[in-house]
Amino acid sequence: MNFKTKIENREAQIGVIGLGYVGLPLAMEFVRAGFHVTGIDVDQEKVKKLNRGENYIQDVEDVSVANAVAINQLSATSDFSVIQNLDAISICVPTPLNKQKNPDISHINSVMKNMKDFIHHNMLIVLESTSYPGTTRELVLPKLESKGLRVGHEFYLCFSPERVDPGNKKYKTANTPKVLGGITPNCGVMGELLYKTIVDEVVMVSSPESAEMVKLLENTFRAVNIGLANEVAIMCEKLGVDVWEVIDAAATKPFGFMKFTPGPGLGGHCIPIDPHYLSWKLKALDYNARFIQLAGEINTAMPLHVVGLVQQGLNQQRKSIWGSQILVIGVAYKKNVDDVRESPALDVMKLLENDGAELSFYDPYVSFVKLNGNGINGNKSLTKENLKNSDAVIIMTDHDQIDFQFIEENSDLIIDSRNVIKKNQPHVIKLGVGKN
């Protein structure tokens, strides 16, 4: 039976390598489409949990995972040899930055090393991990061709960037258009055939390089515009103007303006990282990506700016950061998620800890964070006592289920980096709001 027929009959065996925030939701879409899915991950704890029917990703329903495992439609393993029995594989492993802010593609290299001996005829491989333009063709393709199989004839290779937005209630995997580019036209046809079974719209582009560039443009666009909003916030503080009022008023223009808001820094796995992939690639081509670098400098400096606001507030009370009790409200990188990857809250906390602050935090989604080698447990509840006992309260994440009015009424000093406290109060210092 050929690949096309297997897809149409839902008889194709699907594999997803990397079972995190991207991989597990993708695997569940394939399950919903009627395929049997094998998840592959080197993290033994994830494999054990999935095989027990336990979910660990916020955007996936617990009951869906339990049911899929119960009827043997979803299973997990760390054994890459199962690839020899699979018809299609989506690779969803992390692509972080190293300490020099250069791409770390070690996870992709590890996957290639582990799977190359098991690829076979009529197999589709789709890389979803964000990387620099050229990764699919220059890095992945040669390793897959090492067995002598011809791309576009005996196996198919595509790139399709993940577009997961954790915590987004409206846009999930299925209703977010899927960009896809194949190494050859035939690769693109096969990739589109598979992904059309799980998403409402597949957007075909001419090559993997175009698809790789699409993802980097999307997140560079956001990083640059957030950088502009952050710089305007600092300008407004110096000018004695309210940046939130300015942005809201500008957003009433029905054309030529798109609303972005400032904040304490960038977080998550995409926006703080992806622009650096593009900048790094362009350096190899002797081009300096100036917008990206400038936006990166501004956004990276925002946690230090927030610490400056804390220092300003404490100084007004004749206190120093050293020895002060500081309560951080929200440590996830954005509202209504449990994800702390690249969270600016952690950067702010590290800076404050280095300055001698005594830290605690409250986050309804996160109970523990690691900081400067030490672990900090979060407060299980938000009480008048822990607010009153704090010399400063910093609002870092605006989760919907936090009662910010309660915080406003029971705190002596608040640094609000998310504009959750609308009224100007003498005990509230707001990011982007200067005093005349």
| Closest-CA residue to 77 (of 112, 35, 120, 48) | 48
Residue 55 identity: N
- Give the strand pairing for 368-371 and 374-377: antiparallel
Extract the runs of DSSP E, i.e. beta strands, from 169-241. 178-182, 202-204
Query: Do residues 98 and 61 make contact, with C-beta atoms less than 8 angstroms apart?
Result: no
Distance CA 16, CA 28 (A): 10
Chain centre to alpha carbon of residue 225: 17
Exposed, middle or buried, 350 (CB in 10 Å: 0-12/13-18/19+)? Answer: middle
Question: What is the enclosing helix (H) or strand (E) of 36?
Answer: strand 36-40
Contacts 24+ apart (CB under 8 A), 140-149: 140/108, 140/112, 141/183, 143/112, 143/113, 143/116, 144/112, 144/116, 144/119, 146/116, 147/116, 147/117, 147/119, 149/119, 149/120, 149/121
Question: What is the enclosing helix (H) or strand (E) of 49?
Answer: helix 44-51
DSSP 82: G
Q: How many residues can be counted in the chain? A: 436
Q: Which residues are catalytically annotated?
A: 270
Tokens of residue 392, six digits? 């400063």
Distance CA 305, CA 226 (A): 15
Q: Give the Cα-Cα-Cα angle 248, 427, 331 (nearest 5 degrees).
A: 70
